[in-house]
Structures are given as C-alpha cells and as structure tokens.
Structure 1
Amino acid sequence: MEEIRIEANGNIGPIDSARIPRFAGAATYARLPRLDQVSNAAIKIVGVPFDAGVSYRPGARFGANHVRESSRLLRPYNPALDVSPFENVQVADAGDMAVNPFNINEAIETVQDNALALTADGASLLTLGGDHTIALPLLRAAAERAGEPVAMLHFDAHLDTWDTYFGAEYTHGTPFRRAVEEGILDTEAISHVGTRGPLYGKKDLDDDRRFGFGIVTSADVYHQGVAEVVAKLRDRIGNRPLYISVDIDVLDPAHAPGTGTPEAGGITSRELLEILRGMRGMNLVGADVVEVAPAYDHAEITGVAASHVAYDLVTLMADRRAATATKDAS
C-alpha cells in the first residue's frame, strides 16, 4: 500500500488520515515514518519490549506496540500547546530494542548502549516500555549525553527507590535508588509526582528524603491543584537538563487499568497531561512512558492515555528544539 504522508518544512510526517483510513497500514507511533524512511530524525521514539523486572503482574513487554496501536487517532496539531510537533522537527519511530528477556543485567546494558547509539547524532529519545527497570539505563545514557547528572520528574504511584526484591538489585522497584547511588541524578532537582498507597514502612519515606527526592502525592495534586504543583516543580528543576519518567500507574485505575501494579486514588489523565504541559520550555533531554500492560486494558483505555502522554512529551521536545533553533538563528 502506498503511504501518502503529510509533509511540511522538509519534514516527513504521519500518514495522511484524510486519504488513508486510520485503521489501515502498519502501526508506527502516531503513524509516523520509520527511522529508516527518513534521512535523520531530531526526535526518535523507540520501544523496549521487556518486563523481566516486574514484581506483580507481567505483560508490559507488549506495551510499546499497544501504545502504537492506540496512537492511530493522534493528529498532527496539538492545540493545548499550539504546536505542530511533526512540522517543527523530524520525528520518527525507531522500532524496538532487542533485549534479552532472560538476563536482566544484559538487558540493562543493551538498553543503555542502544539509547546512546540513538542519541549519538544529537537526537532526543522518547522510550515506550516495558517495565520501569529500563529507566536506569536510559538515565545513564541521558546523563552521559548531558555531561552532568540530570534532573528528573518521576510520575508514579510508587517510589521505586527500594533497595532489592528477593535480593535482586535491578528491578522495576529499584531504578531510582540505583540512579542516586551512581550519581547520575541531580539530587537537588528530583521529585516524585502522584505517589500514593501503602508502603513497607516509614523508612521508605525516610530513605527517599535522604536521597533528595521531593514528593508530590496524588492527594497534593487534588488539594493544591495543577497550577500550584507546576509552579513548585518548575522552581525545583530550573533550567537543568531534565528527564521525565512516566509510569502509567500514576493514573488512577479508572484511567489506566492496564498496568502491573495498580493503586487506588490516582490522578486523572487530564491532570497528568496538564502537569506535563506546564513543563513547556524546560530543558527536556529525554523521557519514557512505561508499565503499560495490554492484557488488563479493556477498551484500550490505558493505551490511549499513554499515547497522549507520549504525544505531549514529543510536543515539548519539538517545541524546545524549535525555540532553541530560532534563538540560535537570531
């Protein structure tokens, strides 16, 4: 089938859905071109089909393709930010990393190596998981590219700063403890957003504060409102290189049932999108959207939410790049 695409400013965009039905053709993210169909890409979207680090319900290895399928309804203009991301810069789907599902240490090394290779030309990377274990190698790569520890906003129901599970240091519940220990996070500019639910003990919070994390709980978002939360986060981050990691279970199960460790009392998809949009203009150097498990996702609710979260993250990256290029030109 011939791919009739929207093109603007020399950039090859998504398949034209006014001429080819949205339900037809291969499901790349937002129906964008594959990386091998463009000469270069400023923003690359890559999947990591890996869930060997989960502690409860598996299935996130199928998350990236589920998000791609759910992204068919995305359109090229983002009215919330008044940005056409695919016109501003070239965006492409880089396919999936081939990671070892039986060796978690090797998988982590593979993700890090692939992330460095994909960003070697200066491109920004948005990763679709996969479980949250993959955030550690992605942060390693982001810090290496930035040449310094990075700030981080971590959207999640859980802290993910535990030490081990069953003696294992590398799981989806431990990546940010390891990241602090490795010195790849700027501990003056890291925060969890949307956390909630029971913990193993008060020590979990004590450890988290010791690592430098700020915490904005889902209750804080409810009581303080999005505008106040955004102002506090922006003040904490400043213009540091910023990595955003989104575990889809930050959303209430009503908005994201298709995930491995759901917790009641989460934020809404609207609140999450508005907080992300509030990060406009910040120095976003990388992002991920993880823990989408399609086996539990009736009516594609979680996939649609994750696809829109990814879309706003791509928009933020494209907007920042376009603004930087305009500033440099002047």
Structure 2
Amino acid sequence: MPVPVTFAAPHAFLGARPDDRGAAFCVAGVPLDIGTTNRAGTRDGPRAIRAAARMLTDGRHPETGADPTALDLSDLGEFEIALGDIPASLARIEEQAAGLNHLVALGGEHGITLPLLRALARRLGGPVGLVHFDAHLDTSEENFGQRFAHGSVFWHAITEGLVAPRRMIQIGIRAPAWPEMFDWTRGQGVTILSAQQVHESTPAAIAAQVREVVGEGPAYLSFDVDCLDPAFAPGTGTPEVGGLATWQAQGILRRLGGLDLRGADVVEVAPAFDVAEITALAAATVAWEYLCLQAAKR
C-alpha cells in the first residue's frame, strides 16, 4: 500500500492503529489543563501534536534507521477527565493508564505525569528513575493553594515514593524559584542541571550524566516543552527565556538508548500561543525520538 503524501497522513499519531489497549506501545492524549498557573490551553495540545507528527511519517530515523511505525503501536485517542475537578481527573487518568504495556502520553499540563507515574509504579511494584526536561523544578508542595497544580507534580511523586530521587535528573532548569525549593529538591537526592550548564556542555556529556544518574533500573521520561527556549517553543503556558534549543534536546534524547525507559510523556503544548506549529512539531519530534529509541532496541 503506498504511503500517503505528508499533508494527507492519517490523524492518528504516526498512523498508528486505533484503540488497542493490548498493543505493546500505546499513545494517548491527556487533555487536562485546569491546574495551570499562567496561560491555559494545553487541553488542545494532543490534537496539535498529532497534526504536526505528519512530518515524521515519511522515512526512518536518520542516524539509527529505526522505524517507530514498525512497533506494535496503537493510538488510544484522548483519555477522559472529570471536568473542573483535578483530583477526580487524576484518578481517571491513573485508571485509564493502568494495565497498558508501555504508554507515551501527549499532554495536557504537567500535572498528568503524577497519575501516570502512580499507574507505572504500581504496575512495576516500586519507584522508577526519572529523566525530567523542564524550565521549572515542579517540586512545590502546592501552587497558590492548590495541592495538585502543574508545579507540584514531582513533590507528590517523590513524597509518594513513585520515583527514586537519587535516580532522578532535571534538565534545563532556569525559572525563578525560592531557594527552599532548590534545597528541598537537592536534599532528596535529585540532580539538577540548569539550562546554562547544558549550554556550556555538549549533548553527549549531558546524556552521559543522565545515564550515570538513572542507572540500569526502570525509568520514565517526562518532557515539558518549556524546557525549550521560547524561540523554539512559543506555544506553552509558562515560557522562560534562556532555554534549550531543539537541537540540544534532540541530541541528548538520541543518546539515551541504553536506559530502561518504561514510559514517557510530552506536556505543556498550548497551540493557541504557537507559531507555525513550531512547538507542536518539537513535541511530536520528542515523542517520535522516544519511540525510535524503543524501535532501535528491537
């Protein structure tokens, strides 16, 4: 069967077959954005990411030759949420993620990571390592009185024992934060790499540090697009200047093939603030690079 031209590619992510929860790899949109603290709109992120992914359907990975479309891959569509209710939404997301073999989630705000980690830690029977790309620490105990806003996700993940903090690394951090947040996060054993440290290093060196911190156990990738500089990702709710370029993030991701990654999410795409699909394409490419890592193993 001939491959359709790019602009006529199927709407499912990478043309994956629909609604097969038994697939080895699943993609799902999680359109939650009621815990955002600045600009809302990430509920529309999954659709925008899928649309931009049409650029990734014509060919294999340029370095490894991996073909993610050869994976046993299904697009489950959008997870259900509880309108206007963050705790109930988190419960529904966890329930829908439970039992999936390997999930790549398209956000949605960063708060979706918490129920996804709950489901994964429960399935694996213990905490996982974490590779976290972000401009923000996301380790506040609460945001503006809300315990489950998108800036508190990793405080909960650590205190609930979902991640092993000494196997957790944050990449691209640069946003204003109280010194107590840095002290608490580092005090748990988390490794923090600022955006400036990334700029002064190389993707190969950063990836080597990631592999050293995360080690050989099961791990999870959480990629907030605001880790990228607004020049490369304007379509996000909490942009911060001085961030990573897309080539830096891509170069790091391409060198993580040795990790035992068991799931991933790409979050905080707000297409209403995007320009020419720049942000959506960056997010789609991150998900594609992740699936290429999985395909290369096979």
Task: State the TM-score, normalized to the length of structure 2.
Answer: 0.96
Q: Which residue pairs with 2:62 in the alignment?
A: 79
Q: Is the 8 A contact 1:149 1:183 kept in 2?
A: yes
Q: Once the 2 structures are TM-superposed, how far is the Cα of residue 35 of structure 1 from its aligned partner?
A: 2.9
Matched, 1:31 2:9: no
Which of residues 148, 151, 154 in structure 2 aligns to 1:173? 151
1:193-204 paired onto structure 2 within 5 Å: 193-199=171-177, 201-204=178-181
Structure 1 counterpart of 2:265, one-letter code: D
- Which of 32, 38, 44 is the equivalent residue of 2:26? 44
Q: How many residues align?
A: 297
> 2:114–2:156: 8 Å Cα contact kept in structure 1?
yes
Aligned alpha-carbon RMSD (Å): 1.4
Quick check: 1:316 aligned with 2:296?
Answer: no
Partner of 1:301: 278
Q: What secondary structure, in the 3-state scheme, does the structure 1 residue paired with 2:151 have?
A: coil
**Which deviates more, 62-71 or 140-149?**
140-149
Correspondence for 1:328: none
Q: How does 1:215-230 map to 2 (within 5 A)?
A: 215-230=192-207
From 215, 226, 237, give the equivalent of 1:238: 215
Match of 2:50 in 1: 68
Q: CA offsets, 1:221-252, max 9 Å, x none?
A: 11121111111111111111010000000000
Structure 1 stretches of at least 4 aligned residues deviating more than 3 Å after TM superposition: none
Output the CA distance in 2 between the equivalents of 1:319 and 1:35.
24
**1:117-128 residue pairs with structure 2 within 5 A?**
117=99, 119=100, 123-128=101-106
What are the residue-to-residue correspondences of 1:1-330 with 2, within 5 Å?
4=1, 16-17=2-3, 20-24=4-8, 26-36=10-20, 40-75=22-57, 76-87=59-70, 89-117=71-99, 119=100, 123-199=101-177, 201-320=178-297, 322=298
3-state SS of 1:106 partner: helix
Alignment partners' CA distance in 2, 1:265 and 1:302: 16
**What percent identity do the matched residue pairs reach?**
38
Between the aligned partners of 1:92 and 1:58, the Cα distance in structure 2 is: 28
Alignment match, 1:13: none
> Is the 8 Å Cα contact of residues 218 and 267 (structure 1) preserved in structure 2?
yes
Q: Is the 8 A contact 1:124 1:317 kept in 2?
A: no
1:134 & 1:273 partners in 2: Cα distance?
23
Query: Which structure has the larger Rg over C-alpha atoms?
Result: 1
| Partner SS for 1:101 | coil
Structure 1 residue 166: Cα displacement: 2.3
Alpha-carbon distance between aligned partners in 1 of 2:61 and 2:33, rounded to the nearest angstrom: 31
| Letter paired with 2:199 | Y
Distance 1:40 1:102 in 2: 30
Give the unaligned 5+ runs of structure 1: 5-15, 323-330
Letter in 2 for 1:318: A
Q: Distance in 1 between matches of 2:83 and 2:287?
A: 24
Rounded Cα–Cα distance in structure 1 between residues aligned with 2:10 and 2:264? 24
Q: CA deviation at 1:202?
A: 1.2
* C-alpha distance in 2 between matches for 1:220 and 1:56: 26
**Gaps in structure 2 of 5+ consecutive residues:** none
Please say if residues 192 and 213 of structure 1, whose CA atoms lie closer than 8 Å, have aligned partners that are also in contact: yes
Contact persistence 2:14–2:69 (CA under 8 A): no
Deviations 1:241-298 (A, max 9, x none): 0100000000000000000000000001111011111110210001000000000001
* Distance in 2 between residues matched to 1:85 and 1:309, nearest whole Å: 12
Would the aligned equivalents of 2:31 and 2:46 in 1 still touch at CA under 8 Å? yes
